[in-house]
Amino acid sequence: EVQLVESGGGLVQPGGSVRLSCVASGFSFGDYWMSWLRQVPGQGLEWVAHIGRDGSEKYYVDSVKDRFTISRDNRGNLVFLQMNSLRAEDTAVYYCVKDARDWGQGTVVTVSS
């Protein structure tokens, strides 16, 4: 059974940083692209970042480019999202997603002073 478990969310001040982690199990991790998506409570979904199987290809939505960095550790079955220069509009539930099919339960990031 595929499992994706996110951690690292919390309350952070504007301009601050946070690192999200996702540990994956139940599938051959290195064979899949991994992604981070987010959802502002009560609102729609946004695809934030996407990383290829070996970590060499990365894509970001424009609103987070130069502030967020996605990375992965295929030995440890982990995917990360380093979030810097955080803004109020980054407040959301952040989901770790495999293949647009399997989703974690989400971790909440709140950017507020």
Partner 1 sequence: DVVLTQSPLSLPVTLGQPASISCRSSQSLVHSNGNTYLLWFHQRPGQSPRRLIYNVYNRDSGVPDRFSGSGSGTDFTLKISRVEAEDFGIYYCMQATHWPHTFGQGTELEIK
Choices 12-20, 22-30, 55-63, 67-75; region in contact with partner 1 by CB under 8 A: 55-63
* Residue 78 near partner 1 by CB under 8 A: no
Please state the closest distance from residue 60 (CB atom) to partner 1, in A: 8
Name residues whose C-beta falls within 8 Å of residue 21's C-beta, 6 or more positions apart in sequence: 6, 7, 8, 78, 79, 80
Buried b (16+ CB within 10 A) or exposed e, 58-85: eebeeebeeebbbebeeeebbbbbebee
* Residue 56 near partner 1 by CB under 8 A: no
Choices 8-16, 21-29, 75-83, 103-111; region in contact with partner 1 by CB under 8 A: 103-111
Choices 19-27, 70-78, 82-90, 95-103; region in contact with partner 1 by CB under 8 A: 95-103
